[in-house]
Amino acid sequence: MTGHDHAHDHPSDDPHDHPHDHGALGEMDLRVRALESVLTQKGYIDPAALDALIDTYQTRVGPRNGARVVARAWVDPAFRTWLLADATAAIASLGYTGRQGEHMVAVENTDALHHMVVCTLCSCYPWPVLGLPPTWYKSAPYRSRVVKDPRGVLADFGVALPEATRIRVWDSTAEVRYLVIPQRPAGTESLSEDELAALVSRDSMIGTRLVEAPVQAGSPA
């Protein structure tokens, strides 16, 4: 596993033992779109059905799994301890296993330390708990910049951390993938586990967002 404190540059010889094409993502996107157009014209695929399938795995099914893991860790101290010690087993106990999730590590955000996740050479990502990786996670600018300027990247996502909070960037590989346990927001003590899970976003489990308490009825937005 590889962690990078924000004060250090990313080593250029970091090993990733997997046969990914590290070429320009823009060119690959064009090829995918061209292939999709051909298959659509021939009647082999329905673009609307394909978009619905991608949306399901990218924004609903996958991230909801990870959100349930986080919520359980927030309400169950024993599970939280297990998750931090052996994330693969703890996550599997909730039924979330499979390819791209065989070797998981959970890292916990605190007031003193904030974690972010990247795959600097391609797009290694914990599919069983987060679904499909977002486009920005696979982009060259994010992959290169987050290691050198994590505060700047967080600012782009609208996140401003106290200067005293240290930032650590974890580099996912074919062998190890990471899940960030975001901080539980204040004022959520009365919420159920399901209600807490509904607050947790995909980006907060990558480390590019914070989890916020729900706005109470009658409270200023």
DSSP assignments along 28-39, one per residue: HHHHHHHHHHHH
pLDDT of residue 61: 60
Residue 64 token pair: 């909801």
| CA–CA distance, 211 with 155 (Å, rounded to integer) | 15
Model-level pTM?
Answer: 0.74
Q: Are 66 and 129 in contact (CB under 8 A)?
A: yes
Tell me if residue 123 is catalytic. yes
State the chain's mean pLDDT as an integer: 83
Tell me if residue 201 is catalytic. no
Choosing from 12, 37, 123, 201, the catalytic residue is 123
| CA–CA distance, 210 with 23 (Å, rounded to integer) | 32
Instruction: Tell me the pLDDT tens digit for each residue of 84-93.
Output: 999 999 999 9
Choosing from 12, 124, 144, 204, the catalytic residue is 124
Instruction: Tell me the pLDDT tens digit for each residue of 17-39.
Output: 444 443 445 665 677 677 777 77
Q: Are 147 and 207 in contact (CB under 8 A)?
A: no
Tell me if residue 122 is catalytic. yes
Choosing from 122, 172, 201, 204, the catalytic residue is 122
| CA–CA distance, 102 with 95 (Å, rounded to integer) | 13
